Amino acid sequence: MTVKETAQKNPQSLTGRAYAFAERAHAGQMRKSGDPYFTHLLATAETLERWRMDEATIAAGLLHDVVEDTAVTAEELKKAFGDEIAFLVDGVTKLSRIKYRGAEGKVENLRKMIMAISQDLRVLFIKLADRLHNMKTLSPLPPPKQKRIALETSEVYAAIAYRLGMWELSGELQDLAFPYLYPTEYKWLEAHVSDEYETRRKYLEAIKPQLEIILKNAKLKPVGSDFRAKRYYSLYQKLKRNDMDVSRIYDLIALRLIFSTVPECYAALGVIHQHWIPLPGRIKDYIAMPKANNYQSLHTTVIGPDGKYLEIQLRTREMHEESEFGLAAHWLYKERGSGTYGAAWRKKIATNLTWLKQLRGWRERKPEEKDKNPKEFLESMKIDFFKDWIFVITPKGDVLDLPESATPIDFAYHIHTEVGDGAIGARVNGKIVPLNHKLASGDMVEILIQKGKKPSEDWLKFVKTSMARDHIRVGLRDKRTIAGGRRAPSRIEIRLAAQNRIGLIKDVSHVISRSHIQIISFHSTDQKGSHFSVYRIECATTDKNKIEKIILKLKKIKEVREIGYRII
Ligand code: MN
């Protein structure tokens, strides 16, 4: 039954109430496409229903945008639907504040943060269902926004879906993002491949009845079958490895057969090979030897009628559901009580979830224990693996990671020294908070500043990061200097980044000592995997004129790329 049918048939059910509530709250709102906003919520909920999520998740899917996009407050939602739904919606709301714009090296951090904020995997499932619909309806948005969302989908959400074992969804998200990220390549594929797709599909459709007869004669009957067209995204990756030659891609479209049992899959493979000669090196037994991500199926390419290549994939229904629902497939066993925590479940946990396990530091327990207390076991599935670390978001949607109990001041200094020094107040999730407020994962933090202000000594009592502490001390010293009206004795630190060369350090120190300035310390940091080093040189002077002259001279050294100094 669809979500809509459930809601109409049983308006007093949780689904029914959420349906009516969301429809009312979003009344009059439109999507960019001109559709009523509610269509988005219904589509999200229907996807969750298709993934066979529990009713609370489906209801939260219907309600996931009410707090963010309507007048309904989090409190009102909690009053109407209780803690669980409010918690799930709150998680999705937090996730929607994160924006990824392709910062190099940040993406893994961002994925982790999303996992951390989600806390409960169901939050992630809702977000993925939400994103799937948004990707399907991306075309009316302005191009820069399309591109940003497509990039985020490809780099972050498709990757998360993949790691949750939802390979079908991951592929679908990649495919939806592809035309926006690679328009030229997409057009090339449209022009060169779409006819080939059609030709091969027709061929498979013509072959299918023949194949069914062959199997029937061997008393084999598939419980399901479909055609799986290779996704443009992965096709493009494959073409790049094959000189863009479409004729070398055998699995453009595959015929997929689903059987009840594993022996039937092998029997069917044997029967097929008796009739059509398999292509050497193209028989893949991913049942006996699953792929690294635990994907299971038998693949073969045979030379079919008319001498044409034909890829066939065979798998059980369980394998099929695994690839479509991934972790969600196991979630549903809990809620719908249809399954036991059997061998497949343990195997899934043991292999497919290595990543999640690593993140959570999940301790391996004896299988009997898992069976005995599934509830407790599922509790441990809740995402709480970042015990000492939090992730917060800037108003622009960038992500900062900070130690636990970090404050808005720590946040401010991580943005910029001026933001830290000038901080006079902070807003967390839109509410004004004291500067010693403890931040939590998912908080959106905004700092109110006054230009030219100096830090306050009190801050030292509560800041958590050494970065903030160091900056506050420097700021306080400057403040005293100004207040005293005389120059306090201090030092200057020169920082420079330079390409490595033998003798470089000597040249640098030579420039400094020639100006009769004493070097107190000299640190260098090698940047991993780069030919650059960063040097910090502490000098016993406060004479800015002299330092400026030194800086000019150092800049003339060919290898020096970046240079600056500060009073310490
Ligand atoms: Mn949404």
Q: Is 349 helix (H, G, I), strand (E, B) or coil?
A: helix
Catalytic residue among 23, 68, 404, 493: 68
Q: Which residues sit opposite 160 in a β-bridge?
A: none
Sign of CA dihedral 11, 17, 20, 23: negative
Q: Look at residue 108 in the predicted model and tell me its pLDDT.
A: 65
User: Could you tell me the distance, in angstroms and rounded to a whole number, from the CA of residue 539 to the centre of ligand 1?
Assistant: 55
78-84: long-range contacts, CB 8 A cutoff, minimum separation 24? 80/17, 80/21, 81/14, 81/17, 81/18, 81/21, 84/56
Q: Which of 434, 409, 410 is nearest to 423 (CA)?
A: 409
State the Cα–Cα distance between residues 88 and 177, nearest whole angstrom: 26
Q: Is residue 339 very low, low, confident or very high in pLDDT (cuts 50, 70, 90)? A: very low
In the CATH hierarchy, which top-level class contains the domain 183-322? alpha beta
Q: Is residue 337 very low, low, confident or very high in pLDDT (cuts 50, 70, 90)? A: very low
pTM assigned to the model: 0.62
Query: What digits encode the pLDDT tens for the residues 145-162?
Result: 999 999 989 888 888 887
Catalytic residue among 23, 69, 212, 478: 69
User: Could you tell me the distance, in angstroms and rounded to a whole number, from the CA of residue 5 to the centre of ligand 1?
Assistant: 21
Q: Pick the residue with more confidence: 6 or 371?
A: 6
Domain 388-487: CATH superfamily is Beta-grasp domain (3.10.20.30)
User: Could you tell me the distance, in angstroms and rounded to a whole number, from the CA of residue 131 to the centre of ligand 1?
Assistant: 7
User: Could you tell me the distance, in angstroms and rounded to a whole number, from the CA of residue 252 to the centre of ligand 1?
Assistant: 33
- Is position 384 annotated as part of the catalytic site? no
173-177: long-range contacts, CB 8 A cutoff, minimum separation 24? 173/131, 173/132, 173/135, 174/231, 174/233, 174/234, 175/231, 175/232, 175/233, 176/132, 176/135, 176/136, 176/138, 176/150, 177/135, 177/150, 177/151, 177/153, 177/233
Q: Pick the residue with more confidence: 443 or 460?
A: 460
Query: What digits encode the pLDDT tens for the residues 194-226?
Result: 888 888 888 888 999 999 999 999 999 999 998
Q: Look at residue 109 in the predicted model and tell me its pLDDT.
A: 64
State the Cα–Cα distance between residues 138 and 557, nearest whole angstrom: 51
Amino acid identity of residue 319, one-letter, is: M
User: Does the pLDDT of residue 301 top 70, yes or no?
Assistant: yes
State the Cα–Cα distance between residues 140 and 93, nearest whole angstrom: 23
User: Could you tell me the distance, in angstroms and rounded to a whole number, from the CA of residue 440 to the centre of ligand 1?
Assistant: 23
Domain 3-177: CATH superfamily is Hypothetical protein af1432 (1.10.3210.10)
Stretch 122-133: mean pLDDT: 92
- Is position 69 annotated as part of the catalytic site? yes
Boundaries of every domain in the chain? 3-177, 183-322, 332-380, 388-487, 489-568
- How high is the mean pLDDT of the chain? 81
The position carrying tokens 């453009």 is 252
User: Does the pLDDT of residue 283 top 60, yes or no?
Assistant: yes
Task: Give the DSSP letter string of 403-419.
Answer: ETT--HHHHHHHH-HHH
Helix 167-181 to helix 121-136 angle (10° resolution) is 40
Q: Which of 428, 409, 405, 407 is nearest to 417 (CA)?
A: 409
User: Could you tell me the distance, in angstroms and rounded to a whole number, from the CA of residue 478 to the centre of ligand 1?
Assistant: 48
What is the chain's Cα-based Rg?
30
Strands (E), 291-422: 298-303, 309-316, 389-393, 399-403
CATH architecture of structural domain 489-568:
2-Layer Sandwich (3.30)
Stretch 316-322: mean pLDDT: 83
Beta carbons of 382 and 334 less than 8 angstroms apart: no
